[in-house]
Amino acid sequence: MPNVVIVGAQWGDEGKGKIIDLLAENADSVVRYQGGNNAGHTVVIEGKKHILHLIPSGILHKGKLCIIGNGVVIDPTALIAEIEELTAKGIEIGENLKISELAHVIFPYHRALDTANETKRGSGKIDTTHRGIGPAYNDKFARIGIRMIDLMHPDRLEKRIQRNLEEKNFMFKQYYAVTELNSRDIVGPYLALGRRLKPFVTDTVTLINRMLDEKKKVLFEGAQGTFLDIDFGTYPFVTASHPTAGGASTGTGVGPTRIEKILGIVKAYTTRVGSGPLPTEISDGGEDLRTRGREFGATTGRPRRCGWFDAVVVRRAQVLNHFEQMAVTKLDVLTGIPTLYICNEYLINGERVSSFPASLEDVESIQPVYEELPGWNEDISGAKNINQFPKNTRRYLDRIEELVGAKISVISIGEERSQTIMLDPFF
């Protein structure tokens, strides 16, 4: 198996967790490269559901080195809670988990700012996960962030927290009119968290590059999706990091030429959590699809907005990430829908457009142009190969391949590991 980046091709929640768990079997290591505990990667094994927020989805396999890369923002409290939860389930966490010393830390003032910002935005809110992700990346780029390595140094940590709080508290009081925070309530607990996490914290750049030197196989685990990317997503309704494949390089310290393949994870329809444009959204929010697909956020429990397959979106994701192969997920959810719709063009101000527009105003005025495909009623969730699929299922997949310009290598037809069809010897 090559070194592969797993990237979401839509707005997140494409089912990356399941695919990473599957591919992890043949890999030596799984590395998260961006985002934080805003992510919720679901893996179901023998009916048991595991939701991973920060720890790479390879952790459910024994003997795989799981790494949280420098591009991730880490809430240490959430990370320890996740470690404890997994340990309680009998999943061993020790030498198999490493955390980058360069990764930035989420503090209580980031979470408070996230909520205060959202309240201020009112009806224009982004509908963030309130995990402090945006404010933590803000501090990183403002060059006042605090990194994992700093948690191990009491003097340094105290000084930096005090300096940051001076500014944040001014904003809390004068601008947001919310309660100020006290550094005493943060420094001690964060030093304690640092002591607990110290055994995991290391130079992951050297570690990953050494593995690649030794021809070990590394999976790069993206969180969120292409259309939530800070540069390429539906700005400003995006997250604050780079879920796109380029982020795998900067978020881990691995030169781009060392990455051999990109696998785009594509849901067989479209979903989005939170506000912002979703051109193919079904007029009632896609309640039928939501019920069928159990489309509720794995982190916040919020109902996901649902829509038809948008080939313009996935084609753009194909270009941005240059994936030649796709894993199509949740195909079984479409069983029983008499007519399926695929959008391949938009009408914007009366003009036909087949590429994704840059301006938010244009995106908001999109009228999708649909082609209709006949659905199928046969249960496909137990199929072992595509020859067992009804003709119309194959037709739907063929059309997706044709419109996106990438090959379907993996098809997921249910939550379980066993409900997956691999069409490529690599995967």
Active site residues: 13, 41
Q: Taking the complex as a whole, how short is the minimal distance between the CB of residue 242 and ligand IMP, in angstroms?
A: 12
Tell me if 362 sits within 8 A of 348, measured CB to CB: yes
CA 377 – CA 74 distance, rounded (Å):
45
Give min distance, CB of 335 to ligand IMP, in A: 24
β-bridge mates for residue 147, sequence order: 104
Site string for ligand IMP, 167-206 (x = CB under 6 A): ----------------------------------------
Q: Least CB distance from residue 239 to ligand IMP, whole Å? A: 4
CB 308 within 8 A of CB 343: yes
Candidates 59-67, 124-132, 155-163, 372-380 — which segment interacts with ligand IMP by CB under 6 A?
124-132
Q: What is the distance between the alpha carbons of residues 318 and 326, in angstroms, rounded to a whole number?
A: 9
274 belongs to the binding site for ligand IMP (CB under 6 A) = yes
- Nearer to ligand IMP by Cβ, of 39 and 311: the residue is 39
Which of 58, 132 has the CB closer to ligand IMP? 132
Beta carbon nearer to ligand IMP, 106 or 340:
106
End-to-end CA, the chain: 7
How crowded is the C-beta side of 47, counted as CA atoms within 13 Å? 0
Q: Exposed (0-12), middle (13-18) or buried (19+): which is 385, by Cβ within 10 Å?
A: exposed
Query: Could you give phi then psi for residue 386, rounded to 5 degrees?
Result: -70, -15
CB 309 within 8 A of CB 278: no
What does residue 17 show for φ and ψ, rounded to 5 degrees? -55, -45
Taking the C-alpha atoms of residue 213 and residue 96, their distance in angstroms, rounded to an integer, is 19
415, 294 in Cβ contact below 8 A? no
Compute the least distance from the CB of residue 72 to ligand IMP, in Å.
12
User: Cβ 128 to ligand IMP, closest distance in Å?
Assistant: 4
Instruction: Give the x-and-dash track for 228-257 against ligand IMP (CB under 6 A).
Output: x----------xx-----------------
Q: Which stretch binds ligand IMP (CB under 6 A): 121-129, 181-189, 319-327, 393-401?
A: 121-129
Which is closer to ligand IMP, CB of 240 or CB of 363? 240
Contacts of 84 (CB under 8 A, 6+ apart): none
71, 229 Cβ separation under 8 angstroms: no
Give the bridge partners for 43, in sequence order. 50
Residue 277 touches ligand IMP, criterion: CB under 6 A: no
**Six-digit token pair at 202?**
């290391």
Of 96-104, 125-133, 204-212, 378-386: span binding ligand IMP (CB under 6 A): 125-133
Among the listed ranges 25-33, 165-173, 221-229, 283-291, the one in contact with ligand IMP (CB under 6 A) is 221-229
Which two three-digit tokens encode residue 62?
């024994």
**Minimum distance, C-beta of residue 206 to ligand IMP, in the bound complex (Å):** 29
Phi, psi of 223 (to 5 degrees): -115, 170
Tokens for 370? 């649909």
Question: Exactly one of 97, 157, 273, 289 binds ligand IMP (CB under 6 A); which one?
Answer: 273
Q: Which of residues 132-171 bind ligand IMP (CB under 6 A)?
A: 133-134
Q: Which of 39, 263, 340, 348 binds ligand IMP (CB under 6 A)?
A: 39
Smallest separation (angstroms) from ligand IMP to the CB of 301: 12
Q: Which is nearer to ligand IMP, 20 or 273 (CB)?
A: 273
- Only one residue has tokens 């799984």, namely 30
Task: Determine, following the binding rule CB under 6 A, whether residue 368 of this chain makes contact with ligand IMP.
Answer: no
Q: Does 223 bind ligand IMP (CB under 6 A)?
A: yes
Half-sphere exposure of 361 (CA within 13 A, CB side): 1
How many residues line the site for ligand IMP (CB under 6 A)? 19
CB of residue 110 to ligand IMP, shortest distance in Å:
10
Is 131 near ligand IMP (CB under 6 A)?
yes
Centre a 10 Å sphere on the Cβ of residue 94 and count the other Cβ atoms it contains.
Answer: 9
User: Using CB under 6 A as the criterion, which residues of the chain lie in contact with ligand IMP when the complex forms?
Assistant: 12-13, 38-40, 126-129, 131, 133-134, 223-224, 228, 239-240, 273-274
